[in-house]
Amino acid sequence: MTDVAHLTEAQALDELTRLADEIAAHDIRYYREDAPTISDADYDTLKRRNSEIESRFPHLVRENSPSLRVGAARSEQFAPVEHGVPMLSLDNAFSDEDAAEFDARVRRFLRLGEEPVAYTAEPKIDGLSCSIRYENGVLVQAATRGDGRIGEDVTANVRTLAEIPKRLAGSGWPQVIEVRGEVYLGHEEFIAMNAAAEAAGQRTYANPRNAAAGSLRQIDPKITAARPLRFFAYAWGLISAPFAESQWEALQALKAWGFRITPQSRRIAGVEGLLEAYRLMEAERPKLVFDIDGVVYKVDRLDWQQRLGFVSRAPRWGVARKFPAEQARTILEAIDIQVGRTGAVTPVARLQPVTVGGVVVVNATLHNADEIARKDLRIGDTVILQRAGDVIPQVVGVVADEPRGPEPYVFPSHCPCPLHTPLVRETTASGAETVVRRCSGEFACPFQKLAHLRHFVSRRAFDIEGLGEKQLVAFIERGWLNTPADIFRLHEKRAELLETERYGETSVRNLLDNIEARRTIPLDRFIYGLGIRHIGETTAVVMARGYGAVGDFLAAMDKVADRDPAAIEELDNLDQIGTAVIEAAASYFAEDHNRGVVQDLVGELTILDAEQPKQDTAVAGKTVVFTGALEKLTRDEAKAQAERLGAKVSGSVSKKTDLVVAGPGAGSKLKTAAELGIQVLTEDEWLDLVRGG
Ligand code: IVH
């Protein structure tokens, strides 16, 4: 990777664009789906690189920069709740030097003399933050963080948590207070919950944090109630009156009102105090029954916190000192090749079992052939393994002073599937080679078949509970499942299913009921479920809205496959759809086999037309451009809202633009709007205009 100091402006722009997309995708997986795909440490590295490039090229800071955002926009399954005071994030510190710099910055800002500053050092609980509003001591509302400004209403779920008082105890609480803290799961509860889910063929979670988030964000509070979620209070948002003079006093007050506070919290002073508290927490960590991923330092005096205030999305008065990823050494015993849904192959390290951070690790992803070559990994090498607050471990590199494996690893030239197809390196639209290698066997490759079916039944696609990997493998082996349509014919196998000793009557009934419930499906989920490359959830929604009904969608895809210029133009004109999607759709529908699979599936289903944006609103049919920083809405929310109300959102101002919504920092677009005489609204005026729409 090029050193930030050596990047040209064009490279920096390119990288910031890529980082923004990559980080946004990870945010969605982490915050909304509770299923991250990279380690926290790798995520922090991406964010740090983004910030470093931005500080060298401040004029390139994007309006939607990851450094200006907390979390991901909330899920639409829950009602929105506007926090009385935004729920912000903390900046990270990674070393003793960073901690000392934090202290120095606090002192500089407050212009303090020699006197050491008092801080609290609290364990950084690895769960999800939650804000609980009490009025006159009674719990009235609870919300997740969401994008920091607007969270998800999880009141009914939070009421089921035994550790959250429904009514505050004691006295002295403000008439209105948003109590904030972390919802989490203990280690033992997490293991028991996953074991039970696995046995029932339901989804399991990678770590306690995701399990806690997934358990709290349930539509049915009965499910939340059955999960042993716990809560530590450590902060507050809106308050109608002050109730403490220091963070320490505030923690004691929260405790007196009936909350649990972390017993490992300390009050300390000066840099020595910060460093010692970190060492103590590191030593305590293995004995704790819940996950922590660092220490949170906070200036103790609340009047000082007030003066220090915030910079963009994080306070100056606090910082999160993160633990480094946990590492261990082990032997690389073999490298297996896994084939994904689209045929992309991923090398997986098979390791001599080793414990890292309390978990026995036997596999780790090696990403791709280039990574193996770059690290010169050889079978038989002693490697360093790393886990960072998650379950997907990484191979960091080879231990050079141990005996090395005898030969360099040669990446297989053919797929390990029975078809043994040559693996081809994928190229981008411009012809450049990428790191991805692919098997071209498609549905005939049993690995791809399984991966395809797994995608099809997954939560965001057809969401068929009870049809996990184990069941899919068993049904494929018996020859009952080949393509998605076969799932909807499994009821014909009821008798055989009941005969096998592993399926009881209730589980067979539940499975078949779950399948029946999905026979009627919205068009966007159907499109997403097909698992076509580059057609993710958002693109599927755009396509569903664009074509409206399944018949129109399929007719258009046939024409796209035949390279009909009008059909390609129609697809291209849909918002956010570019060459990658067009190419992927064209090559998918050009395959007779795929057309057959889709037709067969359509025959089994009732596919609902896409919900169309409204036509009778103040902005229906208008073209809107958002520019500058929005303060009450995220860009994505603003865009989704406008589109729901029938407007078209564009990225640039032209004669076709009807409205420009400008926030602080709006630049050239505002000027163009003025030149063209286009109406310009503030964010508040926009909200007034669309309210009730
Ligand atoms: S105080 C302005 N205290 O860490 C933010 N946060 O990166 C004030 N967290 O969103 C947050 N333990 O989910 C605070 N003792 C603690 C914490 C804690 C865990 C989480 C929380 C927050 C994130 C900040």
Nearest CA to ligand 1 atom 4: 124
Nearest CA to ligand 1 atom 12: 124
Q: Which of 212-216, 429-433, 629-633 has the lowest mean pLDDT?
A: 429-433
Q: Which of 143-152, 317-326, 612-621 has the lowest mean pLDDT?
A: 612-621
Q: Let me know if the fold of 84-322 is the same as that of 522-608.
A: no
CA distance 166 to 548: 46
Buried b / exposed e along 156-184 (16+ C-beta atoms within 10 A): ebbebbeebbeebeeeebbeebbbbbbbb
Q: What is the pLDDT of residue 156?
A: 92
445 ligand 1 Cβ < 6 A: no
3-class secondary structure per residue, 160-191: CCCCCCCECCCCCCCCEEEEEEEEECCHHHHH
Please determine, for residue 71, whether its predicted confidence score (pLDDT) is greater than 70. no
Residues 84-322, CATH architecture:
2-Layer Sandwich (3.30)
315 ligand 1 Cβ < 6 A: yes
CA distance 15 to 21: 10
Backbone angles phi, psi at 43, to 5 degrees: -65, -45
Amino acid code (one letter) for 465? E
CA distance 330 to 536: 37
Please determine, for residue 296, whether its predicted confidence score (pLDDT) is greater than 90. yes
DSSP secondary structure code for residue 32 in this structure: I
Torsion, Cα of 440, 441, 446, 447 (10° steps): 0
Please determine, for residue 603, whether its predicted confidence score (pLDDT) is greater than 90. yes
CA distance 190 to 197: 11
Please determine, for residue 229, whether its predicted confidence score (pLDDT) is greater than 90. yes
Question: Six-digit token pair at 588?
Answer: 């998918």
Helix, strand, coil shares of the chain, percent, nearest 5, are: 40, 20, 35
C-beta atoms surrounding 561 within 10 Å: 18
* Spacing, Cα 160 to ligand 1 middle (Å): 22
Q: What is the pLDDT of residue 537?
A: 80
CA distance 102 to 96: 10
Which CATH code is given to the segment(s) 441-518?
A: 1.10.150.20
Q: What is the pLDDT of residue 392?
A: 65
Please determine, for residue 257, whether its predicted confidence score (pLDDT) is greater than 70. yes
Nearest CA to ligand 1 atom 13: 129
Look at the domain 1-69 and name its fold: Helix Hairpins (1.10.287)
Closest CA to 262 of 274, 280, 241: 280
* Spacing, Cα 502 to ligand 1 middle (Å): 45
Which CATH code is given to the segment(s) 522-608?
A: 1.10.150.20
CA distance 30 to 150: 17
Summary count for the chain: helices (H), strands (E): 25, 26
Q: For residue 317, what are the CA distances in angstroms to 104, 107, 179, 205, 313?
A: 12, 10, 19, 34, 12
Residue 315 CA: which ligand 1 atom is closest? Answer: 2
Look at the domain 623-690 and name its fold: Rossmann fold (3.40.50)
Which CATH code is given to the segment(s) 325-440?
A: 2.40.50.140
pTM of the model: 0.54
* Spacing, Cα 562 to ligand 1 middle (Å): 54
Test site for ligand 1: of 234, 261, 264, 291, most ligand atoms within 8 A of the Cβ: 234
326 — pLDDT class (breaks 50, 70, 90): confident
* Spacing, Cα 32 to ligand 1 middle (Å): 18
Residue 123 CA: which ligand 1 atom is closest? Answer: 15
Closest CA to 84 of 127, 139, 129, 141: 141
88 ligand 1 Cβ < 6 A: yes
* Spacing, Cα 643 to ligand 1 middle (Å): 34
- In 74-179, which residue ranges form alpha helices assigned H by DSSP? 96-110, 155-158
Label the pairing between strands 659-662 and 623-627: parallel
Top-confidence residue, 29 or 669? 669
Catalytic residue numbers read 124
234 ligand 1 Cβ < 6 A: yes
Nearest CA to ligand 1 atom 18: 124
Query: What residues have CB less than 8 Å from 693, skipping those under 6 apart?
Result: 614, 617, 618, 619, 645
Amino acid code (one letter) for 519? R
Top-confidence residue, 581 or 643? 581
* Spacing, Cα 209 to ligand 1 middle (Å): 14
* Spacing, Cα 296 to ligand 1 middle (Å): 7
Nearest CA to ligand 1 atom 1: 235
320 ligand 1 Cβ < 6 A: yes
Domain ranges of the chain: 1-69, 84-322, 325-440, 441-518, 522-608, 623-690
Torsion, Cα of 179, 208, 39, 335 (10° steps): 180
182 ligand 1 Cβ < 6 A: yes
pLDDT digits (tens, 9 = 90+) for 169-196: 999 999 999 999 999 999 888 888 887 7
Residue 88 CA: which ligand 1 atom is closest? Answer: 2
Question: Six-digit token pair at 468?
Answer: 């996990």
CA distance 473 to 146: 37
